[in-house]
Amino acid sequence: MQYNKNDTALVVIDPQNDVLSEQGVSWALVGASVKENNTVENLARLFAAAKQQDYQVFISPHYLYPFDQAWRFVGAVEKMMLDEKEFYRPDPLGDEGLIGSGADWLERYKPFIEDGKTVVVSPHKMWGPQTNDLVLQLRKRGIGKIILAGMLANLCVESHLRELLEQGFEVAVVKDATAAPRHPVLGDGYKAAVVNYGFIANAVLTTDEAVKAMS
């Protein structure tokens, strides 16, 4: 892949407290992977590099609202999310209960995300961007190539990767700017994701490589 700020964007998925903060509801499952990958710092480095080099930045967030609790069928991790109220917001139209909550941005990322330039798309409801407007927002800005990072490696990141490839984008995944749950029964989601990245992404980068590519 060739990276150019005119047609390449940084897309960050779920840079939110519940999966990146030690106070988040999912820290027991993801914390070890986050620490091993230095995920929090690596995402900060990607944000800083993109802003310094004038690359467009897009956030694809995950929010769950009270009415989502009425879903009649869910998968294993969806059930965990609903039971623990991960990424929970009481109101889709206001910010009541948002600031400092598990659904809020990690504090160190707020200067990058809330700078008036970053595009925060509508929330995805499961794992991929089929349920939000990420593809539309990318197309409307002439983006054809994506540097992809964020949470969680085997769920939202891999699902975004697959759909964006199907939509005709070139996608590079930054493998150490993500992390995944380790579950005693379901297994290590990070190992599963990295194998699939190698098979299907246009490129698999480290944060060092991604920062250099944007310079």
Beta carbons of 146 and 9 less than 8 angstroms apart: yes
pLDDT at 81: 86
Q: What is the DSSP letter of 53?
A: T
Write out the DSSP string of 60-86: E-B-B-GGGGG-S---HHHHHHHHHTT
Q: Max alpha carbon distance in the chain (Å)?
A: 48
pLDDT at 148: 99
Cα atoms found within 13 Å of the Cα of residue 172, Cβ hemisphere only: 23
pLDDT at 84: 85
pLDDT digits (tens, 9 = 90+) for 164-182: 999 999 999 999 999 999 9
134: exposed, middle or buried (C-beta count within 10 Å: 0-12, 13-18, 19+)?
A: buried
pLDDT bucket at 198, cuts 50 / 70 / 90: very high
Rounded CA separation 40/212 (Å)? 18
Cβ neighbours of residue 55 under 8 Å, at least 6 residues apart? 5, 8, 9, 10, 49, 147, 214
Alpha-carbon separation of residue 55 from 75, 104, 192 (angstroms): 36, 23, 30
Tokens for 167? 């939509």
pLDDT at 145: 98
Tokens for 42? 């690596």
Q: Is the pLDDT of residue 82 over 90?
A: no
3-state DSSP assignment of residue 91: coil
Structural Rg of the chain based on CA atoms:
16
Q: Is the pLDDT of residue 9 over 90?
A: yes
The average pLDDT across 14-31 equals 97
3-state DSSP assignment of residue 143: coil
Rounded CA separation 26/32 (Å)? 11
Give all domains of the chain, ordered by start, each with its CATH number.
8-64+106-214 (3.40.50.850)
**What pTM value is reported for the model?**
0.95
pLDDT bucket at 116, cuts 50 / 70 / 90: very high
